[in-house]
A and B are shown apart, each in its own frame.
Chain A
Amino acid sequence: MKELNPLLHSQLRLAVISILMNVEEADFVYLKEKTESTAGNLSVQLDKLSSAGYISLEKGMSGKRPRTTCSITDAGRKAFEEYVEALKSYLNL
């Protein structure tokens, strides 16, 4: 049986990747709201996904406030698809 990608096999990181698979881009506030996570925790997990090359982070400004926009990369998309395939075999789907 294929091993589940440990980077995605975590509640919050999997939620972030699942959201980004469905949209073109999403900002930090949107992700925080949809995942019902804390800002500190979300920030750490986004950095981990970004370091793995699964998402790209674009930091900019919205008026006077900083704004981080996230989008999934091709590597992230591939990793998610492989994760779902592995999950299917675990759940006998």
Chain B
Amino acid sequence: MEDRKITEKESLEVITAMIARTKERYIGDGNIMLMWGYLIVAVTGLIWVLLATTHNPVWNWLWFLIWIIGGIATPIMDKRNRTTRGVKSYSDKVASRIWSVVGFSAIFSTFCCLGFLFVKGIDAWSMMMVFALIIVPFAEIAQGVIINEKSLVAGGSVGLAIGIFAACCIAGKVALTANWFMPLFILAFVAMMIVPGHILNRKAKRK
């Protein structure tokens, strides 16, 4: 393509051709999702084993590893993805905003729980479980709908179902004890992050 004058008909052809070239549906790879999935499963598994063997609740502080490692790795991986692809679409922007809201609400929820603990001595950490299994699945389902990717909608729905069950347990004062809830939590993140992450990677490789 050159810098030359064109006819009105050619103008229309250029506009149509460029719209068609930018219209390709981009799903992206699942590396960030896999990083979060494996990180959460690994940390949850570690805490589960430590709680089961020592019965010391101090190990619960290890949950913060998820935010620290994930919070550092995500922007680095996201920047690398964008540089490789060379373009940011409107759906990328919407998905990015949704996940930013999830990130900020996670920080706010954490501070609320810390406030309850240090000011009133109340353990409100079960709220974080509901956060992880309701807000995160909602964001994943929304992303799946935006980019038209069924694995995200399906994975998010499994997570959401487990989240609603956990919320019912909290409302019904059924204790979310480590021995049964931790495996369920791991199962939710395998369905929400690890399975769709591998599916996205396979699709990206095929493309």
Contacts of B5 in A (CB 8 A): 9-10
* Interface size range on B against A: 20 to 34
**For the complex, what is the distance from the CA of A41 to the CA of B2, rounded to whole Å?**
7
Could you tell me the distance between the alpha carbons of A13 and B11 in the complex, rounded to whole angstroms?
11
Known: A9-B5, A11-B10, A41-B2. A24 touches B23 (CB 8 A): no
A26 part of interface (Cβ distance < 8 Å):
yes
CB distance from B24 to the nearest CB of A (A): 10
Segment with Cβ contacts to A, from B27-35, B88-96, B100-108, B159-167: B88-96
CA distance A30 to B18 in the complex (A): 12
A22 interface residue per 8 A CB criterion: yes
Q: Which residue of A lies closest to B86 (CB)?
A: A30
24 contacts between A and B (CB under 8 A): A10-B4, A10-B5, A11-B1, A11-B14, A12-B4, A14-B14, A15-B14, A18-B19, A19-B18, A22-B18, A22-B22, A23-B88, A25-B87, A29-B86, A34-B21, A34-B22, A35-B1, A35-B18, A37-B2, A41-B2, A41-B3, A62-B83, A84-B15, A87-B12
Chain A residue contacts of B83, Cβ below 8 A: 27, 62-63, 67
Q: How many Å lie between the Cα of A67 and that of B6 in the bound state?
A: 30
* Interface residue? A50 (CB, 8 A): no
With contact pairs A14-B15, A18-B19 given, residues A24 and B90 touching in the complex (Cβ less than 8 Å): yes
Looking at the assembled complex, report how far the CB atom of A39 sits from the nearest CB atom of chain B, in whole angstroms. Answer: 12
Most chain-A CB neighbours within 10 Å: which of B2, B8, B14, B86?
B86
Q: Mark A67-92, 1 if CB is under 8 A from B, else 0.
A: 10000000000000000100100110
* Number of A-B pairs, beta carbon distance below 8 Å: 87
CB distance from B83 to the nearest CB of A (A): 5
Determine if B206 is an interface residue (Cβ-Cβ < 8 Å). no
Given contacts A18-B14, A87-B11, A87-B12, contact A23 B87 (CB under 8 A): yes
Q: Which residues of B contact A (CB under 8 A)?
A: 1-6, 8-12, 14-15, 17-19, 21-23, 83, 85-90, 92-93
> Could you tell me the distance in whole angstroms from the C-beta of B10 to the nearest C-beta in chain A?
7
- Please report whether the interface of chain A is mostly helix, strand, loop or mixed according to DSSP: helix
B interface SS class: helix
* A24 contacts B15, C-beta separation under 8 Å: no
Which chain A positions have C-beta within 8 A of B85? 30
Give Cα A11–Cα B15 distance, bound, in whole angstroms: 9
Interface residues of A in 1-52 (CB under 8 A from B): 4, 9-15, 18-19, 22-27, 29-30, 33-37, 41, 44-45
CB A4 to nearest CB in B, in angstroms, measures 7
Residue in B1, B10, B22, B90 whose Cβ sees the most chain A Cβ within 10 Å: B1
